[in-house]
Amino acid sequence: MRKAVCPGSFDPVTKGHLDIVSRASKIFDEVTVAVLINKRKASLFTVDERIEMLERETAHLDNVRVESFYGLLVDFCLERDIKAIVKGLRAISDFDYELQMAQMNHRLTEVETLFVSTNPLYSYLSSSLVKEVATYGGDVSGLVPDEVLTQLLEKLAQQNNQS
Ligand code: ADP
């Protein structure tokens, strides 16, 4: 069985992420979306919230599952016999860092990294930009799924009320 992983923070999941996951699901028998637990980086959504959103938004893709991981991605891959990491490349600026990561991961375990070129519709899109624009009232509809947009606006409103 050909297995791949699509790793990331998904805080929150965007249409750019979903485009890569759905394209990977057409190439591999099984795709695991792996939500990184990063204790050093503050996130807007909890890991459980992010997993729930991803499960909902990928429910129509039979061969996609969602898990979280902590530590090295290559260890996650080894434990599950996953041989490929699929990443979206948005712009040349992504490339430098992604190449380093890919080479390090290959050195560690021979897990291969495959780059999928971003759908031009989403080439400027990142979770951080979506959050920033939404924080200041900008319209991010169409960039994240509708239910994610609702959750995002609710979360930002909650934060505003607390501050
Ligand atoms: P971001 O805040 O940049 O969205 P993530 O860590 O959630 O960060 O992204 C995980 C991975 O998803 C990225 O490394 C990249 O491979 C892919 N990705 C993110 N945004 C896009 C996009 N707009 N188009 C294609 N791939 C993307």
Q: What is the pLDDT of residues 77-123, one digit of tens each?
A: 999 999 999 999 988 878 899 999 999 999 999 899 999 999 999 99
Ligand 1 binding pocket includes 131 (Cβ within 6 Å): no
- The rounded Å distance from CA 16 to ligand 1 centre is 7
* Distance (Å) from CA 2 to ligand 1 centroid: 22
- CA 76 to ligand 1 centroid distance, Å: 19
46-58 residues labelled b (16+ CB within 10 A) or e (exposed): ebebbbebbeebb
The CATH code of the domain that includes 63 is 3.40.50.620
Judged by DSSP in three states, 141 sits in: strand
Q: Is residue 150 included in any domain, yes or no?
A: no
Whether 33 maps to a domain, the answer reads yes
Ligand 1 contact, 20 CB (< 6 A): yes
Count of domains forming the chain: 1
Please indicate, yes or no, if residue 161 is contained in any of the structural domains: no
Strand partners, 116: 88
Domain range enclosing 52: 3-123
pLDDT tier for residue 60 given thresholds of 50, 70 and 90: very high
Does some domain include residue 146?
no
Q: Give the residue from 82, 81, 35 showing the smallest Cα distance to 58.
A: 35
User: First CA to last CA across the chain, in angstroms?
Assistant: 50
Q: 133 lies in a domain?
A: no
Q: Report whether pLDDT(163) > 80.
A: no
Cα–Cα distance measured from residue 161 to residue 149, given in angstroms and rounded to the nearest whole number: 18
pLDDT band with cut points at 50, 70 and 90 for residue 161? confident
Single-letter residue type at 29: D
